[in-house]
Structure 1
Amino acid sequence: MNGAQALIRTLVGAGVDVCFANPGTSEMHFVAALDDVPAMRGVLTLFEGVATGAADGYARMAGRPAATLLHLGPGLGNGLANLHNARRGGAPVVNVVGDHARSHKRLDAPLESDVDAIAGTVSGWLRRSLSPADVAADAAEAVAAAARGAIATLLLPADVSWADGAAPADPLPVRPAPQVASSVVAAVAGALASGEPAVLFLGGDVVASEEGLLAAGQVAAGTGARLMAETFPARMVRGAGLPDLDKLPYPPPLALASLAGTVHLVLAGATAPVHFFGYPETPGTPVPEGCTVHVLSAPGEDGVAAVRALADLAAPDAEPALLEAARPELPSGELTPRSMAAVIGALLPERAIVVDEALTSGVGLAELTSGAPRHDWLALTGGAIGGGQPMAVGAAVACPDRPVLAVQADGSAMYTIQALWTQAREGLDVTTVLCDNGSYAILEHELRNVGARSDGERAGRLLDLGGPGLDFVALATGMGVPATRATTAEELADQLRAALAEPGPHLIDAVLPGRR
């Protein structure tokens, strides 16, 4: 058995049975070995950033790693942005990155690079297999490392892949998440008992779990603490029957206002919030001066158990306030970000997976879907745009029985537009609402926020997506995805209803003010 065959059998044996791939010459023996191990599903993507973003979305919904197959340092480099998002969200991913054969590497071939250094920028675990006898054990360790919420990267020289002498390895046991000490829970309960203004700041496993959210709601009901979630959670369970959970706003002035007056900030599955960027005369964090930050559970610890223990100790008899089922009325007339959000809130299917890369066009989206039927929400954890469409691919592969709704900004869509082709090829049930305002609107906001506002034509051209405008209907249909265009709220409602009723991928170009 050659190294590639042993590697794939080891991955499958450890529960990694999907590989999002954009392979090259160094990975051809891995590709050939897929025919020997039919349990491994290979999903072709046309750009490495789609492969890595899809692995991220898959991991968030499946709760276990997917693999990527990438070609040398340049291929890995092309996938770094979405590996950054996966790393920031704690998603488990196993990268298999081909490298030159050991005898060829020293010749400094044109595609030679410091792939170890490139991988090190995003990887929590990194190893190079040095012989066919090592590769299976290395793969088992990679899966175990990824299962702890890390990006694990295995560098696979081509000759290690093609040489015989390998055998599959058994999976390694996965260590359970560490439990929070009872003394920590008691200290947080004491702070909440003070009656001083407190915020329970939630993220990670806590917001991904109904049990975690209900326990947090019980704490809030019994202590008066406010609930708030991190701005871009990796996965959040939402909808009727759960506590109403606002997210920390993205713009610094709003974030500062939302935490103003807080005396105790309790972190449960989240880290202390900071602004995405530094701004003139603005503090780097929205945490008020004099506020005490208490870590109930850090990312990687069992946050759900910690919040449950806190509820039992600090609010044993409290009943959480829960959202009742509610949907907005279907709007009519002009299609704006808010009317778009109302249409989505009115029609969102039960058990949907919403992938949110709406950016500035997402005004009202969380508010108007809060009382919808139960659904999951995936956000852009690391802020590297271009993750939305690939995450939708991965979520749909992980959960083929659930509808995926991707709400996608136009500028960031063009980073990984190739994901539409994979959606079509795999027949994935993804409906994309494309927020088409014809500009990098988020950068227009940032131009003002950093005090660099310019009304000059040259600066404006760097933020404008016109001249020529992007035809997303043509782009989608050219890659095999049926597409329509909506210019009114009524058109969007009709088109979204039809798309959700028909299996397979669809795209709706929602033309918003600014584009017209």
Structure 2
Amino acid sequence: MNGADHLCDVLLAHGVDVCFANPGTSEMHFVAALDRRPQMRCILGLSEGVVTGAADGYGRMAGKPAATLLHTGPGLANGLANLHNARRARTPIVNVVGDHAAYHLHFDAPLTSDIESFARPVSHWLRRASGPDDVGPTARAACEAAVALPGVATVILPADAAWSAASTPPVEPHPPLGPVAADPGAIRAVAEAVRRAPGRVGMLLGGRAGHGEALAAAGRIARRHGIRLFGEVLIGRMERGRGHPPVTRIPYPIDLALAALADLDVLVLVDAPPPVAFFAYPGKPSRLTPGTCALLTLARPGEDAASALQGLADILGTGPAAGDGPAPAEAGTPGGALSEDAVAVILAQAMPEQAVICDEALTSARRFYALTQGAAPHDYLMNTGGAIGIGIPLACGAAVACPGRKTIALQADGSGLYTLQGLWTQAREALDVVTIVFANRAYAILQGEMRAVGVTRFGRNAERMLTLDEPALDWVALARGFGVEAARASTCEAFRDVLGAALKRPGPFLIEAVL
């Protein structure tokens, strides 16, 4: 048994049985150890951004970590953007980064780098294995930290720690750790605030509060006591659709966000930080709640949001209630030239039960969230950290975690190009993903930001930095080149037909929606 064997055994003992990987020379002993353990599913990503984004999607939907395997500091650096997003989503991930043998570092070989400095900003927990006997304890601590926080736990694995014999004892199966209990005093304080400010209380649901028993309890409390439920500007995971309580997403545009929260006296934070503006704008506040609004924390990240919400319901005398009735569906059948709203309406009417929606459509799907409250029950995931290029990989990981459910990726064309290689992973693993590319051939979100700072006319330099034409992208050809079937639609009728066919067949399919 070498250090790499112990790392594999610790991962498996903690229920980590999926590894998204892009390995290099320093990790070959770990690859060999993985090869000796067929119970570990190993999935190759053609870029590190695919690896880390897929681990994020898997962790959000599976509720447990996947492992990643990255090659030294530069490989980690290639995956940093989606680890940043995972950190913001508080997704459990065991992030394994290989390094040179310890005795080789002082020679300053070409791939030598300061891995700790790369990893620290995107990691909730970080540790370098000091030798083969330390690999097992380091891996065990990483698995526990990833689940308890939850978040990104990074293990740096020197090559000689992986290949050298380890004398640590065999690894026993380890029961999963549960979240810690929330502060009873905080629960009582929230109950008193709800009683004092009827009708002017909001509740912001983040992290684990957006699904399962926590969301159900929040819905019962909201109905009984007139509390408004909010989701973060960028939602990590939210159960939505018929039978789930309506949760208003705080808008991205700052003026709309300020208006949405303007009349609150109290905002209760449940596994969520205080809401802030995405960017600073001259003359506008950074905090989105009014200065008179009290911010009260019911459950912090890592605490048991479901139990805290149930405890609040008990104090307030909130009994069981019937499920939410269906919200009205969007009326009418769009026709003619395809538009952003038409795509959203058609998909809201057609999506199957228990679909997983991975939304990185940015400006192109802003109305989709509102249009789908009355749609079939589904999970909704977003780019939580604002670093673009997560949509395709996020869908990969979600599909691995939920093999019996259809995953639908809403993808802006500009950000989709960052991790286009994820389509190959979808094809190789036969993942059940329908990717809808909103082909407006522009960085439309940046055009909007230019207008927000007062620039209403774009010159040639700005135009060429904010458009994606000359030449126009051919998403059908790109998808087919990676082994994914694809079709193009420019009318509502064509899109409806192609979408219907794609939803009925298994495996990956891409639709280029030309806007």
- Shorter-chain TM-score bucket reads over 0.9
Alignment of 1:160-171 (within 5 A): 160-166=161-167, 168-170=170-172
Contact 1:140 1:170 in 2 (8 A): no
Amino acid at match of 1:123: S
Deviation string 1:364-396 (CA, Å, 9 cap, x unpaired) is 211222112211111111111111110101011
TM norm structure 2: 0.96
Offset of residue 448 of structure 1: 1.8
Offset of residue 311 of structure 1: 2.0
Contact 2:183 2:299 in 1 (8 A): no
**Match in the other structure for 1:314:** 316
**Match in the other structure for 1:152:** 153
Contact 1:220 1:320 in 2 (8 A): no
Paired residue secondary structure (1:67): strand
Offset of residue 172 of structure 1: 5.3
Contact 1:349 1:403 in 2 (8 A): yes
Contact 1:221 1:315 in 2 (8 A): no
Offset of residue 101 of structure 1: 1.1
Distance in 2 of aligned mates of 1:381 and 1:95:
18
Amino acid at match of 1:117: S
Contact 1:406 1:432 in 2 (8 A): yes
Contact 1:16 1:66 in 2 (8 A): yes
CA RMSD, 1 decimal: 1.6
Query: Identity of paired residues, percent?
Result: 51
Distance in 1 of aligned mates of 2:348 and 2:421:
28
**Match in the other structure for 2:184:** 182
Amino acid at match of 2:158: P
Distance in 2 of aligned mates of 1:203 and 1:320:
23
Distance in 1 of aligned mates of 2:400 and 2:343:
27
Offset of residue 150 of structure 1: 2.0
1:495 paired to 2:498: yes
**Match in the other structure for 1:356:** 359
1:227 paired to 2:229: yes
Distance in 1 of aligned mates of 2:456 and 2:99:
46
**Match in the other structure for 1:372:** 375
Contact 2:14 2:175 in 1 (8 A): no
Distance in 2 of aligned mates of 1:340 and 1:152:
38
Contact 1:134 1:166 in 2 (8 A): no
Paired residue secondary structure (2:306): helix
Alignment of 1:54-453 (within 5 A): 54-148=54-148, 149-166=150-167, 168-170=170-172, 174-196=176-198, 197-209=200-212, 211-317=213-319, 319=321, 322-324=324-326, 327-328=329-330, 329-453=332-456
Distance in 1 of aligned mates of 2:14 and 2:216:
32
Alignment of 1:39-58 (within 5 A): 39-58=39-58
Distance in 2 of aligned mates of 1:320 and 1:221:
10
Offset of residue 171 of structure 1: 5.3
Distance in 1 of aligned mates of 2:184 and 2:142:
32
Distance in 1 of aligned mates of 2:480 and 2:56:
26
Distance in 1 of aligned mates of 2:463 and 2:322:
49
Moved more, 217-226 or 386-395: 217-226
Contact 1:355 1:377 in 2 (8 A): yes
Offset of residue 336 of structure 1: 0.7
Offset of residue 174 of structure 1: 4.7
Contact 1:219 1:318 in 2 (8 A): no
Amino acid at match of 1:313: I
TM norm structure 1: 0.96
Offset of residue 471 of structure 1: 0.7
Amino acid at match of 1:448: R
Offset of residue 156 of structure 1: 0.9
Moved more, 471-480 or 360-369: 360-369
Offset of residue 176 of structure 1: 2.6
Paired residue secondary structure (1:16): coil
Offset of residue 163 of structure 1: 1.8
Paired residue secondary structure (2:298): strand
The number of residue pairs the alignment matches comes to 511
Contact 1:222 1:318 in 2 (8 A): no
Paired residue secondary structure (1:121): helix
Distance in 2 of aligned mates of 1:325 and 1:452:
39
Unpaired runs of at least 5, structure 1:
none
Distance in 1 of aligned mates of 2:511 and 2:333:
17
Deviation string 1:230-285 (CA, Å, 9 cap, x unpaired) is 12221111110111111100110000000112111111221110011100110001
Cα 1:165–1:220, aligned 2, differ >3 Å: closer, same or farther? closer
Offset of residue 320 of structure 1: 6.4
Offset of residue 58 of structure 1: 0.4
Deviation string 1:387-433 (CA, Å, 9 cap, x unpaired) is 11101010111111111000111000001000000000110000001
Contact 1:409 1:435 in 2 (8 A): yes
Contact 1:135 1:166 in 2 (8 A): no
Paired residue secondary structure (1:274): coil
Deviation string 1:179-203 (CA, Å, 9 cap, x unpaired) is 2233322221221112352212222
Cα 1:460–1:131, aligned 2, differ >3 Å: closer, same or farther? same
Cα 1:317–1:63, aligned 2, differ >3 Å: closer, same or farther? closer
Contact 2:357 2:408 in 1 (8 A): yes
Cα 1:166–1:438, aligned 2, differ >3 Å: closer, same or farther? farther
Paired residue secondary structure (1:206): helix
Amino acid at match of 2:90: G
Offset of residue 460 of structure 1: 1.4
Moved more, 70-79 or 5-14: 5-14
Contact 2:197 2:266 in 1 (8 A): no
Paired residue secondary structure (2:172): coil
Distance in 2 of aligned mates of 1:151 and 1:60:
12
Paired residue secondary structure (1:228): strand
